[in-house]
Amino acid sequence: MNNIFFYQTAIGEIGIAENRGCITNIFFENEQIPRNNIIYETGILKEAARQLHGYLAGKLKEFDLPLAPSGTEFMLRVWKSLLNIPYGETRSYQEIAQSVGNAKASRAVGQACNRNPIPIIIPCHRVIGANGKLTGFGGGLDIKARLLELEKAK
């Protein structure tokens, strides 16, 4: 069972979930939240919220939190690769596919980004189409654009 707590942020209400001291999920306002969560603010959730607020204020460029995303082996490799995209930079789905050793897996990378349970902290918003266009994001393309603009301002 996860603990979850909700925080008002510059991009709307965000739910952050943890299990055994590791962040497992971030939920945007428009997302369905599993019922098996307990609403309880733990120390790690407070710290995650503090870092998220710092990031959204443009003061924090790198998160330092224990993460425990749940997914397939391929998804975990993709999410690990996303953590290597520097603040203020973007990568294409194909570049991420190449980084995980399968240059033809661009669509699978897209699916892994779509299923990223810890957006923002695992920066799937930094992945864009090969043509430079913004593509899907759980919080909506407007939030993806805002996050990328925030990072460009450095």
Write out the chain's pLDDT in tens, 154 residues.
799 999 999 999 999 999 999 999 999 987 888 888 899 999 999 999 999 999 999 999 999 999 999 999 999 999 999 999 999 999 999 999 999 998 888 999 999 999 999 999 999 999 988 777 787 777 778 888 899 999 987 6
- Whole-angstrom distance, CA of residue 98 vs CA of residue 118: 22
Q: What is the DSSP letter of 146?
A: H
Given the residues 23, 78, 118, 124, the one annotated as active site: 124
124 given a catalytic annotation: yes
CATH of 73-153, one of 1.10.10.10, 3.40.50.620, 1.20.1250.20, 1.10.287.90: 1.10.10.10
- Whole-angstrom distance, CA of residue 82 vs CA of residue 88: 13
pLDDT of 25 reads 96
Spatial neighbors of 32 by CB under 8 A, at least 6 apart, are none
Domain extents for the chain? Answer: 2-56, 73-153
pLDDT of 139 reads 75
pLDDT of 154 reads 66
Contacts 24+ apart (CB under 8 A), 130-137: 130/92, 130/93, 130/94, 130/106, 135/93, 135/110, 136/110
